[in-house]
């Protein structure tokens, strides 16, 4: 009964946050393609060149720029441990101008936080896997303390990740603006169209990311509780 109450509490929490943040994946999906904007962005430098321009503006000349070996991967990431931005298959996407700015901004965030985030993410997931195994083999039977530990780990993870993401997402707009100020490849009206669309996307995406980050932490506790109930 106690565990069912925990599950209900988590579900209610997620529901409240979903409503408050108006977090809907389909709203974000709508921004994936836009023929007119894609044509405009075609006239701008390729991703690698663009990253170099941004990094120069950010006074960061140590970052390596790379691509995935698997060309189907669409996500782009900055790895603080190798100081590398790996760009996904986003050549055709109009959002790439903002995405590359986002990754470049990650590269100038405090290294201490970035590295902690790397280690902590790994420890967090490892703890969860070990906990599930030990629970399945009935080696760990004290549920409450584990829920509390998962919650604390989740709070740390959420605080750090949401700080890093919000910071990069919020600043991306200014970096793109700064870039457009010095760019002559496209017309001013085209720049305005792009900026307007990016602004609309950010309005939906920034709260959505906050919700997704807390969702993935609470989902772990939910899964753990379901396993505890089943076995």
* Helix axis angle, 188-230 to 143-182, nearest 10°: 170
Write out the two tokens for 67.
């691509």
3-state secondary structure of 184: coil
Write out the two tokens for 126.
């490892």
User: Per-residue string for binding with Zn ion, 176-205, x by CB under 5 A?
Assistant: ------------------------------
* Helix axis angle, 143-182 to 47-57, nearest 10°: 90
Q: What is the closest distance, in whole angstroms, from the C-beta atom of residue 101 to Zn ion in the complex? A: 11
Q: Which is nearer to Zn ion, 85 or 168 (CB)?
A: 168
Write out the two tokens for 190.
């085209």
Q: What is the closest distance, in whole angstroms, from the C-beta atom of residue 3 to Zn ion in the complex? A: 34
Residue count, binding to Zn ion (CB under 5 A): 2
Q: What is the closest distance, in whole angstroms, from the C-beta atom of residue 168 to Zn ion in the complex? A: 5
Q: Which is nearer to Zn ion, 23 or 168 (CB)?
A: 168
The pairing of strands 64-67 and 77-79 is unpaired
Q: Which is nearer to Zn ion, 150 or 168 (CB)?
A: 168
Q: What is the closest distance, in whole angstroms, from the C-beta atom of residue 182 to Zn ion in the complex? A: 24
Q: Identify residues 159-178 at the interface with Zn ion (CB under 5 A).
A: 165, 168
**DSSP states along 90-106:** -TT-TTHHHHHHHHHHH
Q: Which is nearer to Zn ion, 49 or 75 (CB)?
A: 75
> Rule CB under 5 A: which residues touch Zn ion?
165, 168
């Amino acid at each position: 009964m106690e565990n069912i109450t925990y599950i209900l509490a988590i579900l209610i929490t997620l529901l409240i946050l979903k409503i408050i943040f108006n977090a809907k994946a389909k709203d974000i999906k709508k921004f994936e393609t836009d023929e007119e904007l894609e044509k405009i962005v075609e006239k701008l430098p390729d991703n690698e060149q663009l990253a170099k321009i941004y990094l120069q503006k950010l006074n960061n000349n140590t970052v390596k720029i790379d691509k995935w070996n698997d060309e189907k991967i669409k996500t782009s990431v900055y790895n603080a441990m190798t100081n590398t931005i790996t760009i996904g298959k986003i050549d055709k996407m109009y959002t790439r101008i903002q995405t590359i700015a986002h990754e470049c901004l990650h590269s100038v965030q405090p290294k201490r936080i970035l590295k902690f985030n790397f280690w902590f993410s790994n420890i967090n997931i490892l703890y969860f896997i070990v906990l599930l195994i030990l629970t399945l083999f009935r080696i760990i039977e004290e549920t409450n303390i584990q829920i509390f530990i998962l919650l604390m780990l989740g709070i740390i993870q959420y605080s750090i990740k949401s700080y890093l993401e919000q910071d990069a997402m919020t600043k991306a707009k200014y970096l793109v603006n700064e870039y457009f100020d010095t760019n002559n490849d496209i017309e001013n009206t085209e720049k305005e169209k792009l900026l307007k669309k990016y602004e609309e996307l950010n309005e939906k995406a920034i709260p959505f990311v906050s919700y997704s980050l807390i969702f993935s932490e609470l989902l772990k506790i939910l899964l753990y509780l379901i396993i505890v109930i089943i076995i």
